[in-house]
Each structure stands twice: as structure tokens, then as C-alpha cells.
Amino acid sequence: MDDFYRELIIDRYKNPQYRGELNPNDISFEDDNPLCGDHIRVDLRLDADNRVTEAAFAGHGCAISQASADLLMEAVIGKTLEEVKQINRDDILEMLGIDLGPVRLKCALLPLKVLKAGVYGLGEANEELVT
Amino acid sequence: MPTLDTAKIRADFPVLEREIHPGVPLVYLDSTATSQKPSVVLDSMDGFYRCCNANIHRGVHTLAEESTEAYENARRRVAEFIGSPSPRQVIFTRNTTESINLVAYTWGRANLKAGDVIILTEMEHHSNIVPWHILAAEKNIRLEFIPVTEEGLLDLDVYQDLLQLQPKLVAFTHMSNVLGTVNPAAEIIRLAHATGAIVLVDGAQSVPHRPVNVQNLDCDFLAFSAHKMCGPTGIGVLYGRKELLEAMPPFLGGGDMIKRVHLRSFTPNELPHKFEAGTPAIAEAVGLGAAVGYLNSLGMEAIAAHEQEIVAYALERLEEIPGVSIFGPSAKYKGGVASFMLKEVHPHDIAQILDGQGVAIRAGHHCAMPLHEKFGIPATARASFYLYNTMEEVDKLVEGIYKVKLVFRV
């Protein structure tokens, strides 16, 4: 169980590289995980070809959701929005390098859910975005 | 004061023998969410299905008679347990939530009108907030809340001011599922009655853990769940004052809740059947009856004293840990709940690492988001105690928290 808390996750939680807000931005979205009260906001800046040039996340949550957000921001920089839409749950699990049960999976996938809802321009995030 | 023989009690609960990981025994500190079940409860339900399972109230064959008797006997045991003047005032529902909804949908709809005031508190579980939100939106009713002080107690001065609004209903939790605060229920009820208000007590956390007598409290409604008091899930109780229950319209419509049905009309059945439409949770009622018998055999005073001792020890040990802060009042104001935070570590991560040590606690907002909002914290970690918990288990909790600190380097 403690394998969850690999060095990478603790490091990213304690010293995130992409924490903050981008104002102005081209895409911004935020949402909660009602289960645990986690809240995440994701901001993106794009170039003329719709390629992500800057990414940042804000909010609060457990080590899994915060590390997942930080790694995800790193991963999207340089990608086009079309490429960002292709990111799925397996990519997140691979970034984190851990296996998760159904409850903690929600924590890990919250940042991706928020990111995708923003990229698709949806009013509300939904589970289908990350399945 | 009789004390509890926890070694003997623990042997009554099969799940407590379980190892969560090889060589790591279960330390179950989540009884506020749901309690574990003793063998007598499991056996009573199993025995019911094996020997006399039948639908109740209308059959005349032997099994139907026996099942009806078992079901109604459970009602009598519950009535006696809470000091209800009559078993007819004990309505079986699905859980506390449904009991409160029943009152909101029937008594509330029939008796409240636009502009009426309902007083709740800031420490309510969502189950005693949302039904009133729904009713308030439907009928344009005003909700007011007794504030929670920094210390985690209800502000009774503000309550007295709120009573000037002549509320129609005061609905409050006897014991907070997050802070552990045991509210001065008799006093709150006395003041409410003095202004003519009806009072509903959410007893989900008090009935399993301390003596609760509806006549001593003088409450009008009491709601609680079987599964938090050693009984099964799927059955709860609504106690109500007879005149109120009799005057209330029925809740769900269907079989059993009627006396007569015609194509274009029906006559509701008498109490308690009026509020029990359809086949109820019969085996679960039997299990609840057995749970009441089990609790009575230990004594509610002794259970409360045991938990008081454990929570006092737990608070003392938790306070020693650098970085830990406790959410809720001191031990003398509360039951067996210790909610806490650890600096720089999210409660979910605390719970996860503790699970690695076999220690089961809860993390989150515990269905009390407004309370967490008030204190500006998204979530807390909560250890809760019941009759089978021991001081050694508190020590394991504390050891586990030191492990969390190690992993998170705090």
C-alpha cells in the first residue's frame, strides 16, 4: 500500500513545478471531487496552432491528485489540443507509476477530467471524459 | 458503573479477527460510518431466512405468522429501547435519512407554509439539511442555523435569539458525526417547545452510543439507523409523537399502508403501518431486534463510559503528535469521535497510509460540507470508537500517524 507514495509522488506533491494560475489564459476550467473535497483548476495558454505553450494548475487535494495534476501539466506542454484530447486514464496511471483502486482512481483522474472539460469547452466535467 | 470486557466483546465480532494484510490485523476506527456486527445479529438474520421466512401481516400460514411475530417483536424491542410509550410509534424506514425525509415530506408538507421558519444547526449531516432545502424551495420556507462556536459547540445564545422568529420546527443532531459534540438535547427541546415549535432529533450518532429515552428528552421525532448500532444496513427508525403521526398524511403509497383501496380512493392504515408501504426489510428488523438485545446486555451507560474513556485517551495521544490539530471540543463535551488534521498532509493520504497498517479511519467531509466550509477546511481525518475498541488500538492509530509523517517527511 505504501508503494503508492513513491518518491516521485511525494516530491511532486511537496514541490510542484506547475502550480499557479495563468491570467490571462486561453483555456481555464475548474471542478471538485465531491468525495473528498478536492478542487482543481487548470489554465492553458496556446499558440496560433492551438499548441499548449504554458500550463498551470491550482487548488487543493491529496498527494495523488496534486502529483497527477503536476505531471499532467508537464505532459501537455508542447501538445496540440487534438493530442491533449487523446490522453486517457492509462496515460495518467503510467505517469504516476502506481495501481489504484476505484476510490483513489477518482483522485488521480480529477486533473485530467478538469483539463478535458476545458479543452472540449464543456459546461461541466463528467466521468466519460476519463474512461 | 459496570465496565466493558472488550476481550469478550471482540470475540462476538467475526470481522475483528480479520487480517487486512498478512500479519496486520484490522483496527476498525470507522464505526461512526457504520458499526461492525456481532454474531448474534448475523445469526438472527440467517436463522430467520432458514427457519421462517415469509411475507408479513396478511398470510395466515405458520411461516407468515412467525415472520409477522418476529417483525413486530423487533418493533417492541426498539420501542422499549428508546422509551417509546407504544410500539405503534416506531416506524421502520430504510435509515436515518429516510426517516427525516418522511417527516419533511409528510409533516412538513402538511403543516408548513410560505414564510415559516425551520431552525437547523451548522453541524448537521447532509441528511438533516437537504430534505429541508428541498422543502424550503418548494414552499418558500426560511431556514436558520444555530452557529457552531470555535470550540465546536452550539451557540445557545444565538439559538435563543433565533427562537424569537417563532420557528415551526427545530431539527438538530444529538451528536455531531464530525466534531463528536454531544448537544444538550433536553435543553434545546425545552426551549423549542416553549415557543411552540416541533422538534426532530437526529439520533444517528447518539442512539448507538448512549442511553436515549424519547420521553425524558421529550422530543417529537427521533430518527436513527440500525447499521450504526450493531444492526444491519437497510433499516432505520422514525419515532414520533402519536398525535403527530396520526395527523400526518402517509409517505409512500402501496401495499400494507392501506386499510381499503378503491379504484379512485384509499383509506390509510393505522399506525405504524400507514408509513410502511410495501414489503419491509423483515430480516433486517429481526437483526435490529437482536442488536438491541446485544446492546442491552452490555448496558448503554457502560458503552458510553467506555467510549468516553477511549476518546479522552485518543485526544491526549493525538495532541502529543507535532503537526496534528484536533477538530472539535474537548473530551467532556463529546462522544467517541476524534477528527483531526495533520499539517501538510491531506486526510485522504493519512487514511491511505493508515490502511497500510490495518487501521481503518475515514477521510473527507463526512457528509457535513457546511461545517467544513465554516472552518475553511476541505476535509478532515476521523477516527471513531465503539464498544469493541481498545486503548491498544488508539496506540496503533498513533503509530500509524507517525508512519504518515515519515512517508511525507513532515
Question: Which tens digits make up the pLDDT trace of B32-89?
Answer: 999 999 999 999 999 999 999 999 988 889 999 999 999 999 999 999 999 999 999 9
d(CA A88, CA B210): 50
Q: pLDDT of A18-54, one tens digit each?
A: 999 999 999 999 988 776 678 899 999 999 999 999 9
* Domain match, B243 and B325 both: no
| B36: in domain | no
Q: CB within 8 A of B63, min separation 6: which ones? A: B52, B53, B54
Residue B33 contacts A where some CB pair is shorter than 8 Å? no
- pLDDT exceeds 90 at position B26: yes
| B35: in domain | no
Lowest mean per-residue pLDDT among A31-40, B154-163, B166-175, B273-282: A31-40
Closest residue in A to B408 (Cα–Cα): A10
**Which of these three, B247, B275, B297, is where a domain ends?**
B297
| Separation of CA B143 from chain center | 22
Min Cα distance A51 → chain B (Å) is: 34
Give φ, ψ of A85 to 5 degrees: -65, -20
Domain CATH for B355: 3.90.1150.10
Is B201 in contact with B223 (CB distance < 8 Å)?
Answer: yes
Q: CB within 8 A of B338, min separation 6: which ones? A: B180, B311, B314, B315, B318, B326, B328, B382, B383, B384, B385
Cell 498527494 sits on residue: A63
Closest residue in A to B403 (Cα–Cα): A2
* Domain match, B293 and B318 both: no
Q: Is B349 close to A39, i.e. CB distance below 8 A?
A: no
Q: What mean pLDDT comes out for the span B215-240? A: 98
Report DSSP state, residue B388.
T
Min Cα distance B328 → chain A (Å) is: 19
* Domain match, B64 and B158 both: yes
> A23 is written with which cell numbers?
491570467
Q: pLDDT of B274-317, one tens digit each?
A: 999 999 999 999 999 999 999 999 999 999 999 999 999 999 99
B51 as an active site residue: the answer is: no
d(CA B221, CA B202): 8
d(CA B211, CA B335): 12
**Facing residue for B407 by CB, picked from A5, A61, A64:** A5
Is B315 in contact with B326 (CB distance < 8 Å)?
Answer: yes
* Secondary structure (3-state) at B59: coil
Global model pTM greater than 0.90: yes
* Domain match, B164 and B265 both: yes
Q: Is B346 close to A35, i.e. CB distance below 8 A?
A: no
* Domain match, B283 and B383 both: no
Residue B133 contacts A where some CB pair is shorter than 8 Å? no
pLDDT of residue A1: 46
Q: Is B379 close to A37, i.e. CB distance below 8 A?
A: yes
* Domain match, B246 and B384 both: no
Q: At what angle do helices B39-51 and B282-298 cross, to 10 degrees?
A: 150
d(CA B240, CA B146): 23
**Which of these three, B266, B281, B297, is where a domain ends?**
B297
Confidence of residue B377 (pLDDT cuts 50, 70, 90): confident
d(CA B231, CA B96): 13
* Domain match, B204 and B262 both: yes
**Which of these three, B269, B297, B325, is where a domain ends?**
B297
Q: Is A10 close to B355, i.e. CB distance below 8 A?
A: no
| B155: in domain | yes
* Domain match, B221 and B339 both: no
CATH fold of the domain at A2-130? Sufe protein. Chain: A (3.90.1010)
pLDDT of residue B376: 87
Domain residue ranges in chain A: 2-130
Closest residue in A to B410 (Cα–Cα): A14
- pLDDT exceeds 60 at position B11: yes
**Rounded mean pLDDT of chain B?**
96
pLDDT of residue B58: 81
B337-342 and B380-384 strand pairing: antiparallel
* Domain match, B73 and B95 both: yes
* Domain match, B282 and B340 both: no
* Domain match, B152 and B273 both: yes
Q: Is B356 close to A60, i.e. CB distance below 8 A?
A: no
Domain CATH for B266: 3.40.640.10
Residues of chain B with pLDDT > 90: what percent? 94
The angle at the Cα of A25, spanning A19 to A30, to the nearest 5 degrees, equals 60
d(CA A82, CA A72): 15
Q: pLDDT of A98-129, one tens digit each?
A: 888 888 888 899 999 999 999 998 877 777 88
Q: Is B378 close to A38, i.e. CB distance below 8 A?
A: yes
Residues of B in contact with A104 (CB under 8 A): 348, 352
Residues of A in contact with B407 (CB under 8 A): 2, 5, 10
| B105: in domain | yes
Residues of A in contact with B409 (CB under 8 A): 10, 14
Confidence of residue A2 (pLDDT cuts 50, 70, 90): low
Which long-range contacts (C-beta less than 8 Å, at least 24 apart) are formed by B59-63? none
Interface contacts (A, B; CB < 8 Å): 55
**Facing residue for B353 by CB, picked from A5, A38, A60:** A5
Q: Is the peptide bond before B232 cis (omega within 30 degrees of 0)?
A: no
Residues of A in contact with B372 (CB under 8 A): 37
| Separation of CA B289 from chain center | 16
d(CA B35, CA B294): 13
Gyration radius (Cα) of chain A, Å:
13
How many structural domains does chain B have? 2
Residues 360-379 of B with CB under 8 A from A: 363-365, 369, 372, 378-379
pLDDT of residue A36: 67
Which domain, by its residues, includes B325? 6-30+300-408
What is the complex's ipTM, to 2 decimals?
A: 0.87
